[in-house]
Structure 1
Amino acid sequence: MNEPASREEKLELAVELLAHLEHEELALSDAIDRIETVTTSPSLTREILDAAEKRGVIERENARLRVRRGGTYVNYESQVVRREGEFECRRCGTTITTGHFVKLDAGELGPFGSSCIRKVTGRDAGGDDAET
């Protein structure tokens, strides 16, 4: 994937990613881990969290987030695309030969390895990729 070109595109992609998490509640650190697949800018991360809260996507309380998504989550059959090639996982940096990309209305995010795609979408509580 090409990086989203603008700050606004990154914001929209990250807010949409938060709206599509598998679990309704997660630690702020886990949310930031997901946001960092879009940006590592601390100011943009704060802007993303603020925008998600203002839009009713999340509620923040202490160091936890509650996702108010109304039952939407990433559908692996229609929203996750696998591509073969030489990739570097966007989350953990591992070299991978199968890249998983998440298709969202705001754009495409990836590539991710098989473990990291589950982490980014909230389907898995842990695990960095160790695959090639």
Structure 2
Amino acid sequence: MNEPAAREEKLELGVELLAHLEHEELALPDAIDRIETVTTSPSLTREILDAAEKRGVIERENARLRVQRGGTYVNYESQVTQREGEFECRRCGTTITTGHFVKLDAGELGPFGSSCIRKVTGRDGDGGGSNAGDSGT
């Protein structure tokens, strides 16, 4: 059974995703919104946050996170790929025809629609909400 390995892979993906946030500071609910693209397990979400803090990736204060590794945001040219097909956005659940995938050292995360990929990587500025109606086309 590979459940522990899958959990460890998700933990690593979550920590790496936090390390690649676009902005240096983020509200905790927005960080959790991004982590939920990796897992919806509250215990694993907590483990991801704890591991990121222990490794010096983030610093937590009140309901905010500060990313400690500046300049490591997701590079769209080399780390985001697009594939055509029939997908369901991993963040909002919308059916999409173009899936955006983030390549991280810990693995690949996606698919996401065109709006959600910006939210997951922190490129849209607000970090919250859903992209209902994001057709990905």
TM-score w.r.t. structure 1 length?
A: 0.92
For residue 69 of structure 1, report the CA deviation from its aligned partner: 1.4
Q: How many angstroms does 1:71 deviate by?
A: 1.1
5+ unaligned residues in a row in structure 1: which ranges?
none
Question: Aligned pair in 2 of structure 1 residues 36, 126: CA closer, same or farther (>3 Å)?
Answer: closer
Deviates more, 1:8-17 or 1:64-73: 64-73
The answer to whether the Cα contact below 8 Å between 1:4 and 1:10 also exists between their aligned partners in 2 is no
Matched with 2:84 is 84
Matches within 5 A, 1:25-64: 25-64=25-64
Kindly report structure 1 stretches of 4+ aligned residues shifted beyond 6 Å: 1-4
User: Contact 2:102–2:110 (CA<8 Å) still a contact in 1?
Assistant: yes
Matched pairs, number: 131
Separation in 1, partners of 2:3, 2:76: 22
| Partner Cα separation in structure 2 for residue 82 and residue 4 of structure 1 | 30
Q: In the superposition, relative to structure 1, how do residues 4 and 27 fare at CA in structure 2: closer, same or farther (>3 Å)?
A: farther
- Deviation sequence 1:11-64 (CA, Å, 0-9, x none): 000000000010000100000000000000000000000000000000000000
Shift of residue 131, structure 1, vs aligned partner? 4.7
Offset at 1:125? 3.7
Unaligned runs of 5+ in 2: none
> Cα deviation per residue 1:66-101 (whole Å; 9 max; x = unaligned)?
011131110000000000000000000000000000
